[in-house]
Structures are given as C-alpha cells and as structure tokens.
A and B are shown apart, each in its own frame.
Chain A
C-alpha cells in the first residue's frame, strides 16, 4: 500500500503562552516553539503500522516554508520513507482550499492508495482532508480512530459524539483524517533524527506543480484572517492569590459553600 500523510508545522500549544505582537495584528512569533501538529504524529504512526503489515511505503508531505523541512525529517525519523516539501512565496496566505489545491497538484503525480492527514491543526478548522478528497473525487472520512486495511477496501471507525464509534466500509483510494488516540505514536530520539539528516527532500514550487499563482496564496483565498485578538474575558474566574496555604484556606471555604466538601 502506498500511503501519503499530509503534515504541518505549527506553534506548540503545550509549550507556548501566546501573546499578541506590539501592533496587535499577529502573534508575537519571536520566541514561539514550533513542532509537528500533534494529530499528524498519529496519522504517520498509523501509516507506518499499516505498511509494516501490508508492505508498501509511507511518504510525508507538507506545504510550508524552509523551516517545515524539520517536521518532515522528524516524521521520517519515525519511519516514513520519503518526504516532499511544497514551498513557494506564491503559496503564502493560502486558505484551506488553496492548501488542498497545492497538495492535489502533487498527489496527482503519484499513485497513492491511501491519503491521511491529522483531524485538525493549529487553526482548528479540520478542513484540508475533506477538501482534498472532494477535489480528487475520492471517498472521505474524518475523525478516524480505527483502520482495518483490506483488499481494495478499508474499514474505518469514526469517533462520533458520546464516545461512540461509527463504522464505515470505503473503497480505495480514499482520504482519511486521523483522530488522536488511534495508536501510540513512537518516540523519536536524537539518533533517529540524525539518521535521516542527510536524506534528500525534494522541494517543489508553483511552476513545478503547474499551479497558477492567482489560484493559490493570498490572491486565491476566499477566507482571510484579518487580525488576532484576545477575546473579552467576561467576568472570568475569581483568581485566588496569596501563599499556597492562604489559597487553600480560601478554596476550602468556597468548596464548603458550594457543596464540594
């Protein structure tokens, strides 16, 4: 089985406290820690496990700048066989439809049986997988938390409300977005990264992909981010302050008053 996994380099929500820049129109990105989108690690792990059983290869792909190469190498250190970086100044400012169109152009050059993405990334839209499937006229399922690969078909479980699971049978090739918890992504050590440090990762731009710059990037975007802001906190929580002993004393009074003790 030839599997392609779409990944993304994102600000790490576990490692950063997000602040706005002085102009108030973007995040203060100077000291942000970036990593591979958490959901994508589950997608890559799942792809590797399928190929371990059924044979084939795993290719990881991303749309991003030069620094996105590091996330491709990280996923190759997990066990992905190939990496492809789609990078061009013309791609900047693409909306979800733009990113999907860029990926589609490269995917059509290959012969993939299965295309995976994370269920969502930093923007929380969960959009690229479903768009890609529609553009390629392939069946799609989102929020997948179980895969049983068969011959020409695949059985997938989707996570739906209340912890229930919706089972579907799909024809291959297809596109799936992967939910966290489907597996336990393997650990990647420094030695693993070093092993793939010199593997060639091809970089392709708009002209390599036959893309017209007016259809991607900011020019082609129908949905554009205007600014960032910190929402009005409303009343918010009453913050308890002081020494830990003082805080605990106040908290115990409040718990008693509200039925907690």
Chain B
C-alpha cells in the first residue's frame, strides 16, 4: 500500500490552505493509499495545528523540537529523513518552504523528485502518472514518476479541491524522540518585513496592473494615465519590480501583495501562477496581451489581443471622453 505523507506548513498557529488540498491530491495518486499529516514545530502553536489536523487526517505525526521553532528547511529535512519510511511518498506545497526543502530531501531519501504537480492520474505498477507545466505555464506535460523507492513531490497550492474537514477523527503520534541530531550549517536569523510603499494597492477596487509588455520604464506613464481615468491604482507583476521601474509594494503575486479588487486590468501580463496566486476574491479580469497564447487568457473574463503600448492610450482617451 502506498504510504503518503503530507507536510503541513503553518504560521502563527494557522495551517496553510494546502492542508485541505492534500487529501484530494492523495486520492488522485492512489485511492487506497494511507495518508498521514506531518506537523513540525515547537510549543503551543504546533499542538494547536496538530490537533486541528486530526479533523482532516486519520493520522498526524507531530515533531516537537526547539530547533524547529522556525521552519528552517535544513533542520526539517534532517528530522524527516529520520522519521519517514524509506519508500514514503512525501508531499509538500510548491511554496518558498517546499522549494527549499524538497529537492535535497529527495537526495537524502534516495527517492524520485517531481516538482509543482498540478494533477495526478494514478499509479500503474510503480509508475505514477502526473501533470505539471513548463515554460511559465505555456505548455503542460505528463510525467512518469518511478516511486519504487519512494518519491518527494511538491504540489501547486490551489490545484487540488479543498476537502471539508471535521470528520476524520484522527490521532496525533508524537515522533519528537525520533528526530535525531538537528544541528545544521544554516542558522535562521530573523524575518525582515516587506517595505510599506506610498500606495496601498490592496485598498483599491480597480487595479491597472502592468507586466513585461510595458517594455520600458518611460511607458509606465501610460498605465498611470489609464489608472487616473479609471480612478484606479497602478500595480504590476514581478519583472517590473526586478527592473526597478515600480516599487516592490506595487507587486501582485505570491512573492508580493495579495489583492482583492473588483476589477483587475492585466496589461501585458502573461499570467504565471505565481502572479495569479496574488489575485483573490474572483475579480472581473480584463487581459490585454499581444500573444494570443498567453496563459492569462485562460483565467481572464475578457481577453483582447493587442499591443498594450497602442491600446492603453486609446482606451484612456475613450474613457476620458465619456
């Protein structure tokens, strides 16, 4: 029987949403598999999350250690290697912690590694068929994962249907004593909080958001003019911040701000999942992109295939003439 273990990330005693998504992923891997939640940390927050997980998972492994008070991936990895069975199928979210933990864990477990899974299509013998994306979401691929000696896989948050918790009636098994030596050559120091900018994009009902298609710093101005016409605020995708054309506080995405506008104008944005992960609350999404195959058109409500450098000024003028 396939033994699946799901790592539950949490902050301040609150489990990440993916905790409700792993059970659906596990069923798609193997309907008959056993599924165990793994919760690592320290103290009251850990106990709170471990107890909550018993309503979703029939088995919960708790690893309590002062060295795990902050989830340093190097420390967590050492504990997991000592606690997981060698043929475990281990799932963690494809987030900044999972990306830190999982590749090295697969080496230490001598397991297959597969990243950023968006779907599973079951096991045939010892081969798991799964779906992932490449090239920023432009194409999908089926992958075959040989799980005969276990597997470490990251799953994309939001890709698997959340389950209704409440009825699992599970129990917590304390494996803290099996964690072993947790000394590492990487020491967590502190969290530096994101800088607060001059504009709070999370407060605006309408966002004019620009991406690579804006092409040049000088062109940011046309987005600002459209935003003024719409009584909106300018936000952006990651490449615009990397190029230092707008400040970090204007970035929408998992590594930037989470926004819940009523209307989201995605101008020259391809629509990577990291970007769309920051757009919540089901806004009305307008996408303008000169590439008709841009992934943004899959999630937008209205799509327009045009070059934003020509389109935005015309739209601004038309709105100003209303």
Contact = CB atoms under 8 A, between A and B. Distances in A.
Interface of A: 11, 13-14, 17-18, 20, 27, 95-97, 100, 119, 122-131, 133-135, 138-143, 155, 157-171, 174, 180-181, 184, 222-231, 233-234, 236-240, 244-245, 247-249, 251-252, 254-255, 258-261
A161 B192 contact: no
B194 A130 contact: no
Most-contacted residue by chain A among B111, B187, B299 (CB, 10 A): B187
Contacts, number: 264
Contact of B100 (A141, A162, A251): A141
B300 A237 contact: yes
A128 to B, nearest CB: 7
Given A124-B136, A164-B193, A240-B304, A184 B263 contact: no
13 contacts: A18-B138, A96-B113, A119-B99, A124-B115, A126-B103, A131-B107, A139-B185, A139-B186, A142-B96, A163-B251, A228-B139, A240-B304, A251-B286
In which size bucket is the chain B interface? Answer: 35 or more
B321 to A, nearest CB: 10
B12 interface: no
From A163, A248, A255, name the one whose CB has the most chain B CB atoms within 10 angstroms. Answer: A163
Given A13-B136, A260-B230, A168 B306 contact: no
A252 B299 CA distance: 20
Nearest to B304: A240
A13 B194 contact: no
Interface of B: 72-74, 77, 95-97, 99-108, 111-116, 129, 132-136, 138-146, 149, 151, 184-195, 205-206, 212, 230, 238-239, 241-244, 248-249, 251, 254-258, 262-263, 265, 270, 284-287, 291-293, 297-306, 310-311, 314-315, 318-319, 322
A236 B303 contact: yes
A14 B99 CA distance: 24
B192 A165 contact: yes
A251 B249 CA distance: 28
